[in-house]
Homo-oligomer: A and B are copies of this chain.
Amino acid sequence: MFEFQTIYNVLDLAGTFAFAISGAIAAKQRGLDMFGIGAIAFTVACGGGIIRDLCIGAIPPVGLYDWRYLATAMLAALMTMGLYSWVKRLHQPVLLFDTLGLSLFAVSGSYKALLYNHNAEVAILLGMMTAVGGGVLRDVLLNRIPVIFRKEIYASAALVGSIVVVVGEYFKWPNTIVSLTAITLCFSLRFFALRYHWNLPVFKGEESDTVKGSGEG
């Protein structure tokens, strides 16, 4: 139980940092002001976790009462604003941060749902929700179709990570090994999907509308 809690904490704060950076960059590219950048960074970093906490009954959501989450997100936002000319040269590292956040949150989200004694389905769905929820909120707030619905394998990678955690806990395999396996698998899936443009099938019919996308993403 103790080890469980520690692993969950470390993964969750690391994921918060990674996602806050990706949120701050997206907000900056849209020309939002300082407050907007901070708010979007916090939303991307903590939004998925807040939805998860509401659904599992962890009141108040950890992102709202534990100062470390807010501090981590603000630090990431300030770093992004301060070092933007440096950050913008790092296209690849930014995607890596996002991929890292995705993997860490899928795993930490599933662990937390299990910690609150919910069943496998809740742990899998909310692990995935923790991982993708912040990004969906970001896209809704920035007024575009959430990128996860139309891009390379993304939520599906989180799904795989969450399933590994739930299966590992079911068979009572050691937490550290299960976490590392789940993170590695989720990260690799997303990484190679980006690199080789793997996509899920689209089934475009003749009368499909084309998505009025926003150009970015």
Contact = CB atoms under 8 A, between A and B. Distances in A.
Interface of A: 27-37, 39-40, 50, 54-57, 59-61, 64-67, 70, 81, 84-85, 88, 118-119, 121-122, 125-126, 136, 140-146, 148-150, 155-156, 199-205, 207-212, 214-216
Number of copies of chain A assembled together = 3
A30 B32 CA distance: 24
A33 B150 contact: yes
A160 B127 CA distance: 35
A32 B150 contact: yes
A31 B141 contact: no
A31 B121 contact: no
Contacts of A144: 143
A204 B32 CA distance: 8
A190 to B, nearest CB: 13
A149 B40 contact: yes
Given A34-B200, A64-B122, 19 more contacts: A28-B205, A29-B208, A30-B145, A30-B211, A31-B210, A31-B211, A33-B149, A33-B199, A33-B200, A33-B201, A35-B200, A39-B148, A57-B60, A65-B118, A65-B119, A88-B207, A209-B215, A209-B216, A212-B214
